[in-house]
Structure 1
Amino acid sequence: MCLIVVGWQMHPDYPLVVAANRDEFYARPTADAAPWPDAPEVFGGIDREAGGTWLGIRRDGRFAAVTNVREPDMAKGERSRGMLTRDFLLGDMTAPGYAQRLDGQLYSGFNLLLSDGMQFVYCSNRDGVPRLLAPGIYGLSNHLLDSPWPKLLMARRRFAEDLAALPDDDALFSLLADDEIVPDAELPQTGVPLEWERLLSAVFVKSDSYGTRASTVAWQRRDGVIRLHERRFGPQGQALQSSLISTAV
């Protein structure tokens, strides 16, 4: 997952709203968003290579999402970062309790967003102790929470404007589809070659081998209804199938 914007307690009817793009190599085996076969109360995709997930939400509003920290020269961790989200979604610990008990040394650099329905937490093994987040709009890519990368600043601004349109999610998907490349003078410097910095500077990434595999809009309504809507893409942004999962109280 390479871009997540979250509204936590910022809408009177939707306490949790998420808009996210998962960027990955197209060849990596993946299961589409659906109720999990071994835990049908959890909705999300599954990484078929390592078994975890980049983003998921449970029927009771429990939510987790992870991004990697872009650090190309670091050694790979022992455990897949997708297990951070999977373990939380399948458990019952509070978000702060889960974050405090993580052993960050087992993983490559990660950013993790967690909600138990009552509290919202950010933690990273590259950014000190876990933080309990106040109501607000937060953005995460492949550095730290709310790093001022151009695509993240734009995404947070548009997300704030688009919240009023819910439950219509077209505006949020339009945000996630923005493929504008940032000018070289505004690019972050993350240790990858310039051609990759350009490619990854867009909200929606596309190339022949790597890009945005899935765009997801998920929310919890105040009455407990959950919805997850995923649109999937192939090389060069070719539109594929989509999934829409919704519960009723």
Structure 2
Amino acid sequence: MCIVFLHFNNDMGAKYKLIMAANRDEYLSRPTKSADIHPDFPNIICGIDMKSGVEGGTWLGVSKSGKFSALTNVMARSPDPSKLRKGKLVIDYLKDEVDPLDYLKSLQDKTHREFNMLAGKIDSCGKICLGYYSNWDGKSPMLLTDGTNVVAGTALNGNWRKIKHGRKTFDDIIGKSASMNVGDLTNCLLESLLSDTTSLYPDELLEEQCYGTFSDTVLEKYCSVMISGITLCGTRSQTIVLIDENNQIHFTEMSLNGYDAADRTAWSKSSYSFTAMITEPNSS
């Protein structure tokens, strides 16, 4: 159950066009490679899932052409094994120059397991274009407007207590971001937002959506932005993506090596900065 905080601002002179901060929550034993240039698609930078059947997939990534995307699971009953896996959707979007909304619309007639997906780009005018689609809420793909959005294992900008709690912290950081350089902003998002283990338990809405899957002890840990203290699963990676006024993309990932998220020495860091090479998309 991942969580993605995202803010974009297309106003002239905005220091940061895009600020995205995300936690990936996953089984701690799931084989994963830290963020790197994708071995099959050198235009893409992302963490890489190495689980059998979805090898080479990812949950969040950027492309050198100015595209970005993130995917979250949906908290629900056990996934339907007859449905398509979703682990390569982000890669499929990033590897081609397809428009965000066109790509999301192409998923409507397919039967993937439940997901929420963000697909964005810097357009030819230097503006952020961002689409969103969830295949489980009955709504069509949409373009989002400037501002803040939070995507987690529920509806867009849902009412889980940890979403509201994290959004307040995120908005406070956004309010100060114009006076912060890339390094300071990245560190602030990692430390103050993504590493927040404040438990917002109990949360009736989250509990209802998990259909009795988790014990109260596990639910208490799940009710925080950063999930830690559970033996089998928790926050595995933390990613910051910043796009500045000059179309410089700054990508930072912290990846957990081991099972103790509270031990900051167990985390490794990967960072990339580059200027987006913006091209016109192929529209369907």
- Which TM-score tier does this pair reach, normalised by the shorter chain? over 0.9
2:270 counterpart residue number:
243
Q: In the alignment, which residue of structure 2 is the partner of 1:135?
A: 146
Please say which of residues 119-128 and 11-20 is displaced more in the overlay. Answer: 11-20
Q: Which runs of 5+ in 1 are unaligned?
A: none
Match of 2:85 in 1: 80
Match of 2:115 in 1: 110
Tell me the equivalent position of 2:173.
162
Q: Deviations over 1:159-192 (max 9, x none)?
A: 1221313422121002100111123255622212
Counterpart of 1:57 in structure 2 is 62
Count residues with an aligned counterpart: 249
Structure 1 range deviating more: 20-29 or 31-40? 31-40
Deviations 1:97-117 (A, max 9, x none): 011111464211100001022
What is the aligned partner in structure 2 of residue 151 from structure 1? 162
Give the conservation status (yes or no) of the 8 Å contact 2:201–2:219.
Answer: no
Q: Give the deviation of 1:73 after TM superposition.
A: 3.9
Q: TM-score, normalised by structure 2?
A: 0.82
Change (3 A) 1:40 1:79: same
Equivalence for 1:24: 26
| Per-residue deviation, 1:148 | 1.1
Change (3 A) 1:166 1:158: farther
| 1:89-140 Cα distance to aligned partner (Å, 9 max, x none) | 1111100101111146421110000102232111011121011100010001
How far apart in 2 are the matches of 1:27 and 1:220? 32
C-alpha distance after superposition, 1:25-75 (max 9, x if no partner)? 111111110111222221111111112100001112201100011112441
Superposition misfits of 4+ residues, deviation over 4 angstroms: none
Matched, 1:218 2:241: yes
- RMSD of equivalent CA atoms: 1.8
Are 2:194 and 1:183 aligned? no
Q: Structure 1 residues 95 and 47, CA, compared in 2 at 3 Å: closer, same or farther?
A: same
Sequence identity, in percent?
29
Instruction: Answer with 6-15 or 229-238: which moved more.
Output: 6-15
Alignment-mate amino acid for residue 145 of structure 1: L
Question: 2: CA distance between counterparts of 1:197 and 1:45?
Answer: 27
Letter in 2 for 1:151: K
Q: Distance in 1 between matches of 2:10 and 2:224?
A: 26
1:37 and 2:59 correspond:
no
When structure 1 is superposed on structure 2, of 100-109 and 218-227 the one drifting more is 100-109
Other structure's SS at 1:40 match: coil
Larger Rg: 2
CA distance 1:23–1:77, change in 2 (3 Å): farther
- Matched to 1:121, the amino acid is G
User: Contact 1:187–1:201 at 8 Å: present in 2 too?
Assistant: no
Which deviates more, 18-27 or 1-10?
1-10
Distance 1:170 1:88 in 2: 28
Work out the CA distance in 2 between the residues paired with 1:180 and 1:14. 28
Give the conservation status (yes or no) of the 8 Å contact 1:60–1:224. Answer: no
